[in-house]
Amino acid sequence: MSYFANILVFICIYGILAISLNLTIGFAGIFNLTHAAFFGIGAYTSALLTLTGVPFWLSFICAFLIAAIFGFLISLPATRLKGIYLAIVTFGFAEIIIAVMKNWQGLTRGPLGLPGIPKASLFGFKFASTWEFFVLAAVVLIITYVIISKIVNSPFGRTMRAIRDDEIAAKALGKNVMKYKSYAMLIGAGFAGIAGSLFAHYITFIDPSSFTLTELILMLSMIVVGGIASVPGALLGAAILVILPEPLRFLYLPSSIVAAIRQMLFSGILIAMLLFKPNGILGERRLLLKKNAKSSWFIKKLWRG
């Protein structure tokens, strides 16, 4: 039975990641390709702190704070650029963070990874079994879900969406565009950090390969499948993409083949969704279709001039 609990724990972790990625990409319109690296920063922060004896709850909070600080710092130069340049700069930051994880051997042990991370424990209670850990992960997921839903429906979130849809108009109305974008990055990165903390204390081993581009593409697939700019959509996308490759386990193929099929499966789904249903299952279609029937998702036109 702990097999099902294992799947549920991963749905929770990826749900948090997808919801927070959707906050930056879907709601704030920032093409954020650093998300997997924030996930890694959270995981390493939490793991390193607990390994030096800090209690779990404190390192969990630190994972949020450190990842959020990185998100904020990266947003400072990044949100001053736009379009493709923003994508490239966030991509570059992600690669630098991975390079530091791989090479700062004194701290992270590089590609060897950090083994023996203690299981999560709270006020003397140890989340030892998978089901117990699932309860913890589910609580964190629910808190994330509620907070981000509140944020996107608050005046703050509506301003964020206004900036995404028409930056110049929002500026003309006196909104501080940089501030909103920086906060979106900060919050998104912070939640990726706590997902990282959960991941580290669940698997009890981390290495830099868990936070690379492939992982980012998996998160992107989740929000594209579930629906850009939709909080329940992101969670649904995470659940679908975690469950879908599971039957492959029972085919008893060599593990390298299974990994390849799994990657082909989710990249194939990603491409198919973009081609045939770009708003995803629960995307913000109703809102955007009425006004702009042609350009249903991001309203920027490609052809200039």
Range in contact with other proteins (rule: CB under 8 A) among 122-130, 143-151, 216-224, 235-243? 216-224
How far out from the chain centre does Cα 151 lie? 16
Q: Which is nearer to other proteins, 118 or 245 (CB)?
A: 245
Distance CA 234, CA 17 (A): 9
CB of 296 to other proteins, least distance (A): 8
| Binders in 175-204 for other proteins, by CB under 8 A | 177-178
Distance CA 297, CA 189 (A): 23
Task: Report how many residues bind other proteins under the rule CB under 8 A.
Answer: 60
b/e burial code for range 162-199 (CB count within 10 A of at least 16 → b):
bbbbebeebeeeebebeebbbbbbbbbbbbbbbbbbbb
Range in contact with other proteins (rule: CB under 8 A) among 11-19, 46-54, 135-143, 217-225? 217-225
Q: Which is nearer to other proteins, 91 or 156 (CB)?
A: 91
| Interface with other proteins, residue 263, by CB under 8 A | yes
For residue 122, what is the enclosing H or E element? strand 121-122
| Interface with other proteins, residue 234, by CB under 8 A | no
Binding mask 46-65 for other proteins (x = CB under 8 A): --------------------
Range in contact with other proteins (rule: CB under 8 A) among 37-45, 46-54, 134-142, 265-273? 265-273
Query: Where does residue 207 fall: left (phi above 0), alpha (psi -120 to 50 degrees), or beta otherwise?
Result: beta
What's the one-letter identity of residue 73?
L
How far out from the chain centre does Cα 228 lie? 13
At 126, is the secondary structure helix, strand, or coil? Answer: strand
Q: Which is nearer to other proteins, 126 or 171 (CB)?
A: 171
Q: Which is nearer to other proteins, 38 or 60 (CB)?
A: 38
Among 39, 64, 93, 191, indicate the residue that binds other proteins (CB under 8 A).
93
| Binders in 120-139 for other proteins, by CB under 8 A | none
Dihedral of alpha carbons 294, 296, 297, 299, sign = positive
Phi, psi of 205 (to 5 degrees): -145, 130
> Do residues 220 and 210 lie in contact, with contact meaning Cβ atoms separated by under 8 Å?
no
> Do residues 222 and 5 lie in contact, with contact meaning Cβ atoms separated by under 8 Å?
no
| Binders in 62-91 for other proteins, by CB under 8 A | 77, 79-85, 87-89, 91
Among 222, 270, 282, 288, indicate the residue that binds other proteins (CB under 8 A).
270
Distance CA 232, CA 281 (A): 10
Among 122, 173, 271, 289, indicate the residue that binds other proteins (CB under 8 A).
271
Interface residues with other proteins (CB under 8 A) are 25, 31, 77, 79-85, 87-89, 91-93, 95-96, 99-100, 102-103, 110, 167, 177-178, 213-214, 216-217, 220-221, 224, 256-257, 259-264, 266-268, 270-271, 274-275, 278, 295-305
